[in-house]
A and B are shown apart, each in its own frame.
Chain A
Amino acid sequence: MNLSDSLKIVIVGHVDHGKSTLIGRLLFDTGSIPEKRYQEVADTCRRQGRPFEFAYLMDALEEEREQNVTIDTTQTFFQTSKRPYVIIDAPGHKEFLKNMITGAACADAAILLLDGIEGVREQTRRHAYVLSLLGIRQVIVAVNKLDMVDFCREVFQQAENEIRAFLHTLDIVPTYVVPISARSGENIAAAQGGTVWYNGPSILSALDTFENLRADTRLAFRLPIQDVYKVGTRRIYVGRVATGSVEVGTQVTFLPSGRATKVKSIERWPQGGAQVAGAGESIGLTFDEEIFVERGEVLAPSNDLPIVTEEIKAGVFWLGKRPLQKGETYTLKLATAEGSAVCVDIEERLDSSTLEVIERHAAELHGSESGTVIFALKKAIAADLYLENGPLGRFVIEDNFLIGGGGTVRDLTAAEGSQKAQVIRLDDHFATEPDGNMIDLTRSRGSIEFVVTGRFGDRLAAGERVLFKLRGPKQIEPVALLAYEHNFCFTFSREEDFIALVLFSTAKPATQTAAADIAI
């Protein structure tokens, strides 16, 4: 990862706030558009009797120009003295959200465009939310069209305050907020004297500070197996290194099969014999012994494995024509693994513009909506949490042959018998609520192991009681085991959507801090 790599940026924002114009301007100011193409656009505009539209450089389809709206996402290219850029134009219209997300999904960074006079609008919110879903953290807010108010500082500040407040609710802190005019070029490549009161960077210099995050060698090694080729007498396992790097001799494990081996060679054509391969590279591998595993397995260092799971909880955005339905079976594709997945619950259905929860435990998620969804997999796969490893923590859902939506993994249930039990240090989970002690396990999925420290034991021995909020009966067993090993007692009751278990010690006669005192 370094700054000489290319950077992919997506331009998002409400319809008509100036996305296509900004891109046209970036291309113009960096000299990236052949003059003839300019002439072409100028001629077309003249023939149609309208002023020069920078937007036409991106909006190439007839329907886009006639209706003055971007329909599909495009990529164009420009170069600064620092590095090459790929710019992704995303349609602002709600109807074309699938195209917007298609464009945004591969971006390292985003420019969120805001018409300074109109301020935050419906698609501003929806797009910002998509950025947060996709985990895009490098964000520039560009407050546009300030030429229309003579670059009035107050107008800019008002827009800045409004957008900052909104982004705050999404946990997005914009790296820069830049006052611009895409049409006149103010603060695109450089200041032009309109915003004398602003001394931050222009859009281009702000972009130059961002990092390419598409091939992260700092993370743990992950190679989703794409295919196995027989070349001569050798079996070569091919794939693209998702994250991290691998060396000849590394001790590795395939998951979910659990086969462990050592990397014998790294294969490329025509020159073989590399010792190391890093994130982003498409390579082949051979191993010390004959191994038979298939596409869909993930290769990882034996000491730093992903989780083998049969249940995924994810933030899902749905783009399909038909709604995502609870109880239906779909094909889920994560890295190179794919298999049947039942949508077992739509825990929350969100209005992706206002971000309000429309419904809990919903039956359907409609096109352009998003929510928290749980999928149960027919066959276990290897995955990571999205926040820990992007490429292994994201997936798509197919409906009727086509990609219908995408998801980012928030939580994983380790499959039965897989080695990873979640270790819970009771001291860390101990929340002393105003009316009692509580340990909330409703968010923990999969098998659990407790680590008991002296402090926890002491408090129980002193007669305190602890309420465990459990997500289901499966979690009773590990708590029961804890009680057995430490000679505690417990009672439990079934509540609406959890189990309330109260743990206490009878070593000393309990004073009357009865269960009634405990918050449920």
Chain B
Amino acid sequence: MYEHLDELEAESIYIFREAFNKFDHLAMLYSVGKDSTVMAHLVRKAFFGKIPFPLVHVDTTYKYPEMIAFRDRMVKEWAAELVVGRNEEAIAAGMGPEQGRMRCCEKLKSEGLAQLIEQHDFKGLFLGIRRDEEGSRAKERVFSPRDKNSEWAYKDQPPELWDQYNTSFSADTHVRIHPILGWTEINIWEYIAREKIEICPLYFAAEGKRFRSLGCMPCTGPIASTASTLEEIIAELRVIKDPERAGRAQDQESDYAMQKLRAKGYM
């Protein structure tokens, strides 16, 4: 029977295949988190076991070592190409969250990403953002055009009708493609359980704590939890009262913090 998860999966596969047909220089942002790991699985479904474009990881040097180990192992298992980008200049200048979280995100992530896009001339970038994560992401399109400064014109987005997306762009722009925009956090976990997808161990509770969202060490905290299996995580999420990104310090910096970061090219 064709259920909600089947529909989400089929739609995501359709989006990957659309982008693959329309763009030459594609890459997928691989953040090591559950969402991008699910995306990697969907890519392999779309392309019969292959990942036909590079995975891109923006390394802020503040990631948990378990994340880097998991990343390298999975990339090998999938036989994928990995491109790691860092804003070396900002790192050398000592950029860190103590200089302001928003500024740090902007420098190490948004700018780090923009540099990668320029170096490799990527025209289309897959990102695993979801509408239920946070308000400004909820307003996104599936194919979301960016200007040459990576800026998002969120006040004036082009229409997107049915399953027809904006896939023609002038040369000085790139497009962010969001294949799992319509998934919820619970959908992701249900799908991980259904498809038996391997996930970074930090998500599973150890000593009464687990990560619900993965990011940089200084700005991402674990939640109190005893959920150490997929079933327990799903059960926990059904009753939990906090939003998913509550452990992400940059989101809490000010009202509209995410909107402001994202307008300038944050993921």
Interface residues of A (CB under 8 A from B): 2, 4-6, 34-37, 40, 44, 47, 58, 60-63, 71-77, 83-84, 86, 98-99, 101-102, 105-106, 214-215, 226-227, 229, 231, 236, 238, 240, 267-270, 278-282, 284, 295, 319, 331, 333, 391, 394-396, 398, 401-403, 405-406
CB of B7 within 8 A of CB of A5, answer yes
Given A215-B7, A267-B48 in contact, is the A226-B21 Cβ separation under 8 Å?
Answer: yes
Given A76-B138, A227-B20, A278-B2: A105 in contact with B170 (beta carbons within 8 A): no
B6 within 8 Å of A by Cβ? yes
In the bound complex, CA of A414 to CA of B106 (Å): 55
Distance in Å from the Cβ of B15 to the closest Cβ of chain A? 10
Please give me the residue from chain B that is nearest to A66 by CB atom: B256
Interface set of B (CB-CB < 8 Å, partner A): 1-4, 6-7, 9-11, 13-14, 17-18, 20-21, 44-49, 131-132, 134-136, 138-139, 141, 145, 154-155, 157-164, 166, 168-170, 182, 184, 240-243, 246, 255-256, 259
**Which of chain B's residues have a CB closer than 8 A to the CB of A282?**
9-11, 13-14, 17, 46
Q: Write 22 A-B pairs (CB below 8 A) sorted by A numbering.
A: A34-B240, A34-B241, A34-B243, A36-B243, A37-B243, A61-B136, A61-B256, A61-B259, A71-B139, A72-B154, A74-B131, A75-B138, A76-B132, A226-B18, A231-B48, A240-B10, A280-B10, A281-B10, A331-B168, A398-B168, A402-B168, A403-B161
B48 CB, nearest partner CB in chain A, Å: 5
State whether A394 and B4 are in contact (beta carbons under 8 Å apart), knowing that A73-B139, A281-B10, A282-B14 are contacts in the complex.
Answer: no
Within the assembled complex, what's the spacing in Å between the Cα atoms of A40 and B241? Answer: 12
Complex-state Cα separation, A105 to B49, whole angstroms: 33
Q: Which residue of A lies closest to B173 (CB)?
A: A401
Closest 7 CB pairs of A and B: A60-B135, A282-B13, A35-B241, A402-B158, A282-B10, A98-B159, A62-B256
CA A37 to CA B259, docked complex, whole Å: 16
- Whether B255 and A284, one on each chain, are in contact in the complex, defined by CB atoms closer than 8 angstroms, is no
Bound CA–CA A6/B47 (angstroms):
27
State A40–B6 Cα separation when bound (angstroms).
Answer: 33
Known: A35-B241, A403-B164. A280 touches B6 (CB 8 A): yes
Residues of B within 8 A of A214 (CB): 7
**In whole Å, how far is B217's beta carbon from the nearest beta carbon of chain A?**
23
- Contact present for A74 and B2 (CB under 8 Å): no
**Residues A6 and B4 in contact in the complex (CB < 8 Å), given A36-B243, A270-B49:** yes
Bound-state CA distance A406–B162 (Å) is 9
The docked-state distance in angstroms from the alpha carbon of A4 to that of B168 is 37
* Contact among A37, A60, A269, A394 with B162 in the assembled complex (CB-CB below 8 Å): A394
A44-B14 contact, Cβ under 8 Å, with A5-B2, A34-B242 = no
A126 and B138 CA atoms in complex are apart in Å by 25
A230 and B142 CA atoms in complex are apart in Å by 27
The answer to whether A403 touches B259, judged by C-beta atoms less than 8 angstroms apart, is no
In the complex, what residues of B have CB within 8 A of residue A268's CB? 45
The CA-CA distance from A63 to B260 in the complex, in Å, is 12
Specify which chain B residues have a CB less than 8 angstroms from the CB of A105 in the assembled complex. Answer: 161-162
Q: Which residues of B contact A284 (CB under 8 A)?
A: 48
Other A-B pairs beyond A61-B256, A396-B161, A405-B159, 8, CB < 8 Å: A58-B138, A61-B259, A77-B184, A101-B159, A279-B2, A319-B159, A396-B162, A401-B169
Minimum Cβ distance to chain A for residue B36 (Å): 19
A76, A231, A280, A403: the one contacting B160 at CB < 8 Å is A403
Whether A6 and B131, one on each chain, are in contact in the complex, defined by CB atoms closer than 8 angstroms, is no
Q: Given A282-B10, A295-B21, do A4 and B49 touch, yes or no (CB 8 Å)?
A: no
Cα-based distance from A2 to B170 in the complex (angstroms): 43
What's the nearest-Cβ distance from chain B to residue A49, in Å? 14
Please give, as numbers and ranges, the residues of chain B lying within 8 Å of A74 by CB-CB distance.
Answer: 131, 135, 138-139
Identify the closest chain A residue to B241 (Cβ). Answer: A35
A269 touches B138 (CB 8 A): no
On chain A, the residues within 8 Å of B4 by CB distance are 5-6, 83-84
Partner of B161, one of A83, A102, A281: A102
* Chain A residues within an 8 Å CB radius of B49: 269-270
Q: Which residues of chain A are within 8 angstroms of B155 by Cβ–Cβ distance?
A: 61, 63, 71-72
A110, chain B: closest CB distance, angstroms = 15
Residues of A near B135 (CB, < 8 A) are 60-61, 74
Contacts of B169 in A (CB 8 A): 401
Chain B residues within an 8 Å CB radius of A295:
21
A498 CA to B162 CA, complexed, in Å: 36
Most B CB contacts (10 A, CB to CB) among A2, A77, A270 go to A77
Q: Flag if A240 contacts B14 (CB, 8 Å).
A: yes
Q: How far is the CA of A44 from the CA of B255 in the complex (A)?
A: 8
Chain A residues near B241 (CB, 8 Å)? Answer: 34-36
Which B residues are CB-close (under 8 A) to A71?
139, 155
- Provide the bound-state CA to CA distance between A48 and B246, in Å: 22
Give which listed residue, B134, B138, B159, contacts A403 with CB less than 8 A: B159
Question: Contact: B182 with A75, CB < 8 Å?
Answer: yes
Complex CA gap A305/B45 in Å reads 30
Partner of A227, one of B17, B158, B256: B17
B162 and A106 contacting across the interface, CB-CB below 8 Å? yes
Cβ–Cβ contact B138 & A60, under 8 A: yes
Q: Are A269 and B45 in contact (CB under 8 A)?
A: yes
Q: Which residue of B lies closest to A44 (CB)?
A: B255
Whether the pair A72, B10 counts as a contact (CB closer than 8 A) is no
In contact, A86 and B13 (Cβ under 8 angstroms): no
Chain B residue contacts of A60, Cβ below 8 A = 134-136, 138-139, 259
> Do A61 and B139 touch (CB < 8 A)?
yes
- B131 touches which one: A75, A83, A405 (CB < 8 A)? A75
A401 to B242, CA, bound (A): 41
For A75, the chain B residues whose CB sits under 8 A away are: 131, 138, 182
Contacts of B256 in A (CB 8 A): 61-62
A384 CB to nearest chain B CB (Å):
14
Task: Note all chain B residues with C-beta closer than 8 A to A394.
Answer: 161-162
For A398, the chain B residues whose CB sits under 8 A away are 168
Bound CA span A231–B182, Å: 29
Chain A neighbourhood of B10, CB < 8 A = 240, 280-282
Residues of B within 8 A of A269 (CB): 44-45, 47-49
Do the beta carbons of A5 and B13 come within 8 Å of each other?
no
Contact B154–A403 (Cβ < 8 Å): no
Chain B residues with CB under 8 Å of A63's CB are: 155
A residues in contact with B255, CB < 8 Å: 44, 47, 62
Q: Which residue of B lies closest to A398 (CB)?
A: B168
A484 CB → nearest B CB, Å:
46
Inside 8 A of B158's CB, which chain A residues have their CB? Answer: 98, 402-403
- In angstroms, Cα B44 to Cα A72, docked, is 33
Which residues of the other chain, B, contact A101 by a CB distance below 8 angstroms? 159, 161
Q: Which residue of A lies closest to B256 (CB)?
A: A62
With beta carbons under 8 angstroms apart, the residue of A5, A36, A102 that contacts B246 is: A36
Pair B7/A6 contact, Cβ less than 8 Å: yes
Beyond A37-B243, A106-B162, is A401–B168 a contact (Cβ under 8 Å)? Answer: yes
